[in-house]
Amino acid sequence: MPITRRCFLAATGAFAIRPSSAGQRPFTLEADAHGHTLKDAAGRVVLGYLTSKPEGLTGNSACCVHPFNTPGGECATDIAPADHRNHRGLFFAWHDMQFTHGERTLRGDFWGWGQFAPVEGRAITNRSVRLVRADAVSAEIAVENDWTIDGEPVLREQTTMRGGEDQGARILDLTYRFTSDYDVTLNRMAFTGMCFRCRKDGGYTFHDPGGEVTLPNSNATRPETDWPARPWYSHTVTRADGKSVASALLDHPANPPSAWHGARGVSFLNPCITANGPVKIAAKQPLTLRYRAVAYDGKFPDGMLDKVASGFSRKDV
């Protein structure tokens, strides 16, 4: 039986995409001062991908998505906030890594914390950002990054980003593929990995499929205090003018089991695959992780995120 585009999208868990109309302008990817900007058919900024650090961002790496905008143009991400100048939009980093090859062992912190592994000389550097496909309703971007220690690549990151809309929200599907010539150990930590740094310029709340989260804050050095695994957690901030911006991060069930680091003071969404114990990546064997980020104007309507998650919950990768 031939595989149709509709069947392919269903199998990969991609968000619903409407057929593009003939003659409509496609999404575009443009170079800018700090990386690249993706714009939709109406010329609105969907996201930026930063390959160099903007003013105020500390640490050794940029390589992140910022801004990630709602359909109405509100930025859902934060970068270099006053509480943690190394936090950067939608980003991926681990902060207690061990690389072993024979008798040689290296340690690295690519998050920028520096408490458990060295940060000096540890950087995520971009190799390429390219537009793979675009039409009037969505686009796919391929990113290649090297994780380096003193200039030597120790981990290769290949990331695919698919941007579009569903249920009136901006959707970004992120697939990360990591490989190394080293045997890699990700040591047990309460936070690390995929992070959606949210705005906190107003009152904010966290929700999961059961409603508002009232659990105590997680402790940065005690993984057992992380919040339980859920298909998604969301964050909604309401500014003084009454306008709300809602963000969510969905965890694909094919990923290793995660607990979520819920630290209200720093206001991020962080499914952590190392919260339950160390994770190993064997040399030359890939680790693939998938997430879906959502940005919405206003507060998420009841049941909306469950609908958005339904097309992302298939275990086939």
Residue 317 is predicted with a pLDDT of 46
How many whole angstroms separate alpha carbon 48 and alpha carbon 50?
Answer: 6
- Both tokens of 289, joined, read 């992780």
Burial class (CB in 10 A: 0-12, 13-18, 19+), 45: middle
CB atoms within 10 A of CB 3: 8
How many whole angstroms separate alpha carbon 81 and alpha carbon 195?
Answer: 14
Q: Is the distance from CB of 198 to CB of 267 less than 8 angstroms? A: yes
If one looks up domain 24-310 in CATH, what number appears?
Answer: 2.70.98
Mark 100-139 as b/e (b = at least 16 C-beta within 10 Å). eeeeeebebbbbbbeeebebeebbbbbeebebeebbbbbb
Task: Tell me whether strands 279-281 and 183-186 are parallel, antiparallel or unpaired.
Answer: antiparallel
How many whole angstroms separate alpha carbon 36 and alpha carbon 283?
Answer: 32
Please choose, from the candidates 8, 16, 9, 6, the residue with its C-alpha nearest in 3D space to the C-alpha of residue 308.
16
Q: What is each CA distance from 28 to 45, 142, 212, in whole angstroms?
A: 10, 14, 37
Residue 100 is predicted with a pLDDT of 98
Residues 6+ away with beta carbon under 8 Å from 28: 38, 39, 131, 134
Residue 20 is predicted with a pLDDT of 45
Residue 10 is predicted with a pLDDT of 38
Residue 22 is predicted with a pLDDT of 52
- Both tokens of 44, joined, read 């609105």
Residue 23 is predicted with a pLDDT of 62
Query: DSSP string of the chain?
Result: -PPPHHHHHHHHTPPP-PPPPTTPPPPEEEEETTEEEEE-TTS-EEEEEESSPPTT--SS---EEEEEB-TTS-B-B-BS-TT-TT-BSEEEE-SSEEEEETTEEEEE-SSS--SSS--TTEEEEEEEEEEEEE-SS-EEEEEEEEEEETTEEEEEEEEEEEEEEETTEEEEEEEEEEE-SSEEEE---SS-EEEEEB--SSEEEEEETTEE--PPPPBTTBGGGSBPP-SEEEEEEE-TTS-EEEEEEEE-TTSPP-EE---TTT-EE-EETTSSS-EEE-TT--EEEEEEEEEEESSPPTTHHHHHHHTT--S--
- Both tokens of 316, joined, read 């086939």
How many whole angstroms separate alpha carbon 15 and alpha carbon 162?
Answer: 9
- pLDDT, one tens digit for every residue, the chain (317 residues): 333 333 333 334 444 444 444 568 999 999 999 999 999 999 999 999 999 999 999 999 999 999 999 999 999 999 999 999 999 999 999 999 999 999 999 999 999 999 999 999 999 999 999 999 999 999 999 999 999 999 999 999 999 999 999 999 999 999 999 999 999 999 999 999 999 999 999 999 999 999 999 999 999 999 999 999 999 999 999 999 999 999 999 999 999 999 999 999 999 999 999 999 999 999 999 999 999 999 999 999 999 999 999 889 764 54
Residue 24 is predicted with a pLDDT of 84
Please choose, from the candidates 114, 172, 174, 182, the residue with its C-alpha nearest in 3D space to the C-alpha of residue 147.
182
**pTM of the full predicted structure?**
0.92
Residue 311 is predicted with a pLDDT of 84
